[in-house]
Chain A
Amino acid sequence: MATTEKSADTTGMQAMSPTEPGAQTMTLSVGPQHSGSGHMRLIVELDGDIIISAMPDPGYVHRGIEKIIELRNIIRSIPVIERPSIIDASNLNHAWVKAIEELQGVEPPSRGQYLRCLINEMNRIMSHLYWLSIYGVFLGHTTMFMWPLGDRELFIDLAESLTGARITYSYLVPGGVRRDLPKGFAEETIKRTKYFEKRLDEYENIFFKNPLFTSRAKGIGVLTRERAVALGSTGPTLRGSGIDRDLRKDEPYAAYGELDFKVHTRPDGDSYSRAMVHMDEMRESSQLIRQILEKLPSGPVRRKAPIVVPRGEAYARVESARGECSFYLIGEGGDKPYRARYITGSYRNLTAIPEVLKGVRLADMPTSWWSIDYWPVEADR
């Protein structure tokens, strides 16, 4: 284990013990300016080409969102809460309004719940497509960088007609959602999801079945079942290690209890399994969107809810694209919360990064750690 000295070490780069006496290791800082690291730093200790340990050093995009939420009333916090993972905005928004509604005792109308599920699934697809495009470019496959971002435009355009904004929705409020479906939305969405599923087949042909990818991802970056559970992993990282856990099925919220879908897992726990879990989830979300539009009930989309956080505490969680996003909300009766603890999926998967990178070659580092779908902004908040 690495031993560090607290006082003088400000960069975390000193005093990592080598594997055997006389052996020399090199400490490499895959820093925030590196194109293969995202906006966080990885302090990697190398023995030749093999990674012995990789310590993540997050905090480069920390904005103090938990403190900001304590200063704003609950509606003004909604854009702030969406920003950590703006590509997956509605799922984070959903965790917030779920916590508020639990304290207030407000139940949104049924049509509002279905519309929440609709925007959640669209966000899940959008987030996974973004993940896929960056995964492609990390591996040098620039076509896989462009295609998912282009197909993401299908859903961004739909979300724009539904909510009025392309990415920054602020669509969910306590009590329901802000707008109803526009005319012609259902037909256009069904057409686009069918087209999207055909495109997913093309992605499989060009990338996931490509031996240039499978030979680089199969067996690389293994996260075993026991370690995945003990480290608190969540989302596709956990499901890629064979554990059947999805909050949409285990603790159904919104309209998920009435919808029919499968939870996809893969047994191996390597990077290829996690990548394929993302692909399977995209297909499932696409079919879920069609199902939601089919089963959509009529009625109002929003119920009145006051701008107040009643006295009490609530722990609310949803299944966002990267894992469980949870709020531990403590209220004292005003319009601002007393304490809002915000834990996102990426923050929970931060402990899985050193585990996944042990024993991996330096060239395989982007393959392994990006397959966890760690989004640095979401973890830093």
Chain B
Amino acid sequence: MSLTHEREDVLVKTLKENFPSDIKEATVVRRSRINVVVPPEKITNIAVFLRDKLGYDHPSGVSAVDYNRESRFEIVYHLATIKTRDQQDIVINLKESVPRNSPRAVSLVNVWPGVENYERESMEMFGIQFDGHPRPEKLFLNDNWEGPPPMRKEVRFPTD
């Protein structure tokens, strides 16, 4: 595998050309990893563009990170491609930040059906609300869990 990142540079350029004002930043972190930061209200258009025009059709997961010192949650969609045969190793991390005291985001289940369970998990673990999600119920936690969303930084458990 080559150590240069021309394909990644081309992808970043295409994204910046098509969404000049919407994308906050798009960087090539290293070979095979691209970070794209977008505001939450523009994410659906960019997601559809990534899926249809660039061929990133295979959702690899959704992570939520609690940056409590910056008062925000960051939701990261990890995307891979099956269609584009020479970009099988590239992963695009599509990031959006929502404020910590009113965390609402738009669900991308209509774009990639596979993100349904990850968004459900982020909902129960962090308390982030995904508008438009078809099944906003608890996935792993007990149905009668009354406590705070457990993965938040202020929730401490008496272990270790």
Contacts and interface: CB of A to CB of B under 8 A. Distances in A.
A/B touching: CB–CB < 8 A: yes
Given A4-B135, A67-B157, A350 B117 contact: yes
A300 interface: no
A2 to B, nearest CB: 8
A328 B61 CA distance: 10
Contacts of B70: none
A200 B32 CA distance: 38
A281 interface: no
B66 to A, nearest CB: 7
Interface in B88-126: 88-89, 91, 93, 112-118, 125
B160 A4 contact: no
B159 A347 contact: no
Contacts of B76: 328
B44 interface: no
Contact of B150 (A6, A67, A315): A67
Given A67-B157, A71-B160, A232 B60 contact: yes
Given A232-B60, A315-B78, A328-B63, A71 B159 contact: yes
Given A328-B63, A347-B117, A348-B60, A62 B140 contact: yes
Given A232-B112, A252-B1, A328-B78, A1 B61 contact: no
A230 B93 contact: no
Contacts of B138: 59
A334 to B, nearest CB: 14
A4 B135 CA distance: 8
B154 interface: no
B60 A343 contact: yes
A312 to B, nearest CB: 9
Of the candidates B57, B117, B144, the one having the most CB atoms from chain A within 10 angstroms of its own CB is B117
A343 B159 contact: no
A73 to B, nearest CB: 10
Interface in A226-247: 229-234, 243, 245
A62 B143 CA distance: 13
Contacts of A326: 60-61, 78
B160 A72 contact: yes
Interface residues of B, number: 45
Nearest to B159: A71
A58 interface: yes
Interface residues of A, number: 43
B140 A380 contact: yes
Nearest to B51: A230
B65 interface: yes
Of the candidates B61, B83, B151, the one having the most CB atoms from chain A within 10 angstroms of its own CB is B61
B58 A251 contact: no
Given A229-B58, A251-B32, A351 B117 contact: yes
A348 B114 CA distance: 8
A54 B113 CA distance: 16
B89 to A, nearest CB: 4
Interface string B26-69: 00010011000000000000000000000001111101111000
Of the candidates B32, B63, B159, the one having the most CB atoms from chain A within 10 angstroms of its own CB is B63
Contact of B114 (A64, A231, A252, A330): A231
A233 B61 CA distance: 11
Nearest to B156: A71
Given A315-B93, A339-B66, A343-B63, 8 more contacts: A10-B143, A59-B140, A229-B58, A229-B83, A230-B57, A324-B60, A328-B93, A351-B117
Interface of A: 1, 4, 6, 10-12, 58-59, 62, 64, 66-68, 71-72, 229-234, 243, 245, 250-252, 257, 313, 315, 317, 324, 326, 328, 330, 338-339, 341, 343, 347-348, 350-351, 380
12 contacts: A59-B139, A62-B141, A72-B160, A229-B57, A229-B82, A232-B112, A232-B115, A251-B1, A328-B61, A339-B63, A339-B65, A343-B61
Closest 10 CB pairs of A and B: A232-B114, A251-B89, A250-B88, A341-B63, A59-B140, A62-B140, A343-B61, A10-B143, A232-B59, A231-B114
